[in-house]
Chains A and B, each alone.
Chain A
Amino acid sequence: MNSSNRSARGALVTLATWILVLVFFFPVLWMFLNGFKPESLASSVNPTFFFKPVTEGYQLAMDRGMAGYLQNSLTAAVTSTIISVLLAIPAAYALSIRRVKNVENSLSFFISTRFMPLAAIVLPLFMIFKTVGLLDNIYVLAVVYGAMNLPVTVWMMRSFLLEVPFEIIEAARVDGAGMFREIVRIVLPLVLPGVAAAALISFIFAWNEYFLALLLTSSAARTTPPFLGSFVDGRGQFLAVLSAAATIAALPVIIAGWVAQKQLVRGLSMGAIK
């Protein structure tokens, strides 16, 4: 095989790759475009690719009170992320650097909770929150999300902590650093990218969560996913406003994921893949 032949084949594969990638990406692109169309164009039988963009769809989404739902989503995602990171740091530290007895048991405990279906725990939570009047409370939802994300956060953080060279910690101990100092001053700065990545994964899961949000909130604490879900009962033409709303809802996580691409695999695999 000569080299020009090979490079021609390479160009062909590259072309095929781009076509496949664009086909795959098309629904996202289409959502983005439809959000900027007037409703009549978005809901037309024949698709329009070139048009004068308008913000009518976004206006309508906001008129449906979307800002409030976004606000709730943000509160739930941020609060739950803080909870799971604060609890995960000492736990991951104990499971990597300090080494409690039976590390394996503790790790399997965390992994098995991660695999616990939400369907198996939602009924008692619903009943308890209902009895004590805590349904439709955004901070309660955040606490549940904190528990949902804690196992992933622990595993992920641990995988970062395992990479801290033990000599550094030993040196700190020789200098007489207490445990708290050791964590806050020595270890944390070294694994800050790991903490950020774990926080990001936790934020993504909480922001996108639909099932618990649907069941544990109703109006005051309603988050964005169930709000979007309510479009299903819509009548008439609403593709432009739906696309605009979906774009706003998806954008924070899309951007976060794009920025943190490198850490994404590690988070998704709970730290198993680096």
Chain B
Amino acid sequence: MTTTTTKPTELEDVPAATATDKRRVQRKELWRNRGLLLPAVIFLILLTQIPFLTTIGFSLTKWNLLYPNDRAFAGFDNYTSALTSGDLWPSIVATVLITAFSVVLALLFGLLFAMLLDRKFRGRALARTLMITPFLIMPAAAALIWKYSMFDTNIGMLNWLFRTLHLPVVSWSTEHPMMTVVIVLTWQFTPFMMLILLAGLQGQDKGILEAAQVDGAGAWRTFTWITLPHLRMYIEIGVLLGSVIILQVFDPIAILTKGTGGTKTLAYLLYERAFIGLDVGQAAAYGVVTVILTIIVATIALKSVFKVFMAGGSR
């Protein structure tokens, strides 16, 4: 760590007569500092860590709410049956594909818009304000608006456009369920990526860009040789945070496709199994798999990003 020790806790102004006295004061100080942290930590342990451990416990139990008395330790039965029943693997694939497509597309669009809105032009503030709106809009509302006013075969604007251009009408959520979900997620997360990348572009040294121009580097070369490497850290943060959020995606699935056509993400599968199928044990196993998947994705992305988080915050 690059922490330079300014030692904020050093007790210079405490008149410590002896070494033991000083140590006692320091220990008291240490506990007081812990006391500041403890409420938050205990609150989180109670509401997230313990429930998670309980989920692991549930996942090792045979437990269907339809047969509440038939509850027993089941070992890894829920996991093996999840794999053999053919629900789990397609769901993992759906989750990963939806996340990957949405994150990459949102990143590309986000980069495009960040570059365009980094320029100075009349009304830039308004353009930026309009651009961030899709991310702010309630996800359930966004999915519904897309479902009915954009994708619908009769009243949807996309199909109106297709009809106007004499193209065949598309029944989006049944013919292209995956694309339907990805479009809405990309639309919602493009502003997210744009904001992060825009912050990166604004931190760019304008002098270097001018020097590159003087040296005769074209726009494309300047972009690939100077801007992109500079943006790397921002791209990584965007990809990490975007992936972790979209891995949990539920709202657009529940509203647009109800998990049909290969869009049954883990969150939706768990919801179906637990709250419609009432199979707590099986659903818990899906919950645990979700965590494992998140950990895999996050460690891949986090490794480099964590340094950034830490570097931004050492005193």
* A interface residues (Cβ-Cβ under 8 A, vs B): 10, 13-14, 16-18, 20-22, 24-28, 30-31, 34, 42-47, 87-88, 90-91, 93-101, 104, 106-111, 113, 115-127, 143-144, 146-147, 150-151, 154, 158-159, 162, 166, 169, 173-174, 179, 204, 207-208, 210-211, 214-215, 224-226, 228-229, 231-232, 239, 242-243, 245-246, 249-250, 253-254, 256-258, 261, 264-265, 268-274
Q: Which residues from chain B contact A256 at a C-beta distance below 8 Å?
A: 136
Residue of A nearest to B315 (CB): A162
Contact yes or no, A211 B47, CB < 8 A: no
Closest chain A residue to B308, Cβ basis: A272
28 contacts between A and B (CB under 8 A): A17-B121, A21-B113, A24-B131, A24-B190, A25-B131, A27-B134, A31-B149, A91-B40, A93-B36, A94-B37, A109-B41, A110-B40, A119-B290, A121-B47, A121-B51, A121-B287, A123-B54, A123-B58, A123-B280, A123-B284, A146-B43, A146-B47, A154-B40, A225-B140, A228-B140, A229-B251, A246-B137, A270-B241
Range of interface residues on B (Cβ < 8 Å): 35 or more
Listed residue (B37, B49, B146) with the most chain A CB atoms within 10 angstroms of its CB: B37
If A30-B145, A96-B315 touch, whether A254 touches B40 (CB-CB below 8 Å) is no
B contact residues around A210 at 8 Å (CB)? 139-140, 250-251, 254
Q: Which residues of A contact B83 (CB under 8 A)?
A: none
Residues of B within 8 A of A30 (CB): 145, 149-150, 157
Contacts of B16 in A (CB 8 A): none
Q: Do the beta carbons of B199 and A123 come within 8 Å of each other? A: no
Contacts of B195 in A (CB 8 A): 264-265, 268
Q: Across the two chains, which residue of chain B brings its CB closest to A144?
A: B47
Contacting pair A98 B149 (CB below 8 A): no
A161 CB → nearest B CB, Å: 10
Residue of A nearest to B11 (CB): A173
A8 to chain B, nearest CB (A): 14
**Residues on the A chain within 8 Å of B137, using CB:** 28, 246, 250, 253-254
Contact flag A123-B37 (CB < 8 Å), given A104-B310, A150-B43, A272-B312 = no
Which residues of the partner chain A approach B39 to less than 8 Å between Cβ atoms? 87, 90-91
Which of A44, A91, A120, A272 has the most chain B CB within a 10 Å cutoff? Answer: A120
Task: Tell me, yes or no, whether B133 is within 8 Å of chain A by CB.
Answer: yes
CB distance from A82 to the nearest CB of B (A): 13
A120 and B199 in contact, given A17-B121, A25-B133, A173-B13 (Cβ under 8 angstroms)? no
Q: Which of B32, B49, B136, B200 has the most CB of A within 10 A?
A: B136
Residues of B within 8 A of A265 (CB): 195-196, 198-199
Cα–Cα, bound, A202→B244 (Å): 17
Q: How far apart are B182's CB and chain A's nearest CB, in angstroms?
A: 15
Complex: A179 Cα to B283 Cα, angstroms: 47
Residues of B within 8 A of A117 (CB): 247-248, 266-267, 287, 290-291, 294
Q: Are A25 and B138 in contact (CB under 8 A)?
A: no
Residues of chain B within 8 A (CB-CB) of A47 are: 157, 160
Known: A211-B250, A224-B138, A225-B251. A100 touches B33 (CB 8 A): yes
Task: Indicate if the CB atoms of A243 and B145 lie closer than 8 Å.
Answer: yes
Q: Is the CB of A143 within 8 A of B47?
A: yes
Q: How far is the CB of A182 from chain B (nearest CB, A)?
A: 11
**A13 / chain B contacts, CB cutoff of 8 Å:** 116, 119, 121
